């Protein structure tokens, strides 16, 4: 049997997508919502909404990353802590 695990970070990504969808839902532009979302979006911060409680993401409040939506319906999300240590050169 395959059981679905509770993943707060995945839920926060879903919440971000829902927020973006809500922002565009009231738009009077003739484009469809899917057409409006196509492109690359910069992530500058993130929180998780669990019920009525807002929590920091596992990466902290200061995250950076990108979300990409393609015209074909593909989605890609990447994020990391903005305070991560720099890679050593050499």
Question: pLDDT tens-digit profile of 30-51?
Answer: 578 778 889 999 988 777 788 8
Confidence of residue 4 (pLDDT cuts 50, 70, 90): very low
What is the predicted pLDDT for the residue at 90? 67
pTM for the whole structure: 0.51
Whole-number mean pLDDT of the chain?
Answer: 75
d(CA 39, CA 68): 6
User: Of all residues in the chain, what percent carry a pLDDT higher than 70?
Assistant: 66
Residues 6+ apart with CB under 8 A from 14: none
């Amino acid at each position: 049997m395959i059981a679905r695990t509770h993943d707060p970070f995945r839920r926060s990504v879903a919440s971000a997508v829902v927020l973006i969808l809500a922002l565009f839902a009231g738009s009077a532009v003739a484009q469809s919502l899917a057409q409006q979302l196509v492109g690359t979006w910069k992530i500058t911060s993130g929180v998780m909404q669990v019920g009525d409680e807002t929590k920091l993401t596992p990466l902290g409040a200061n995250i950076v990353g990108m979300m990409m939506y393609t015209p074909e319906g593909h989605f890609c999300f990447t994020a990391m802590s903005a305070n991560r240590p720099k890679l050593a050169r050499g």
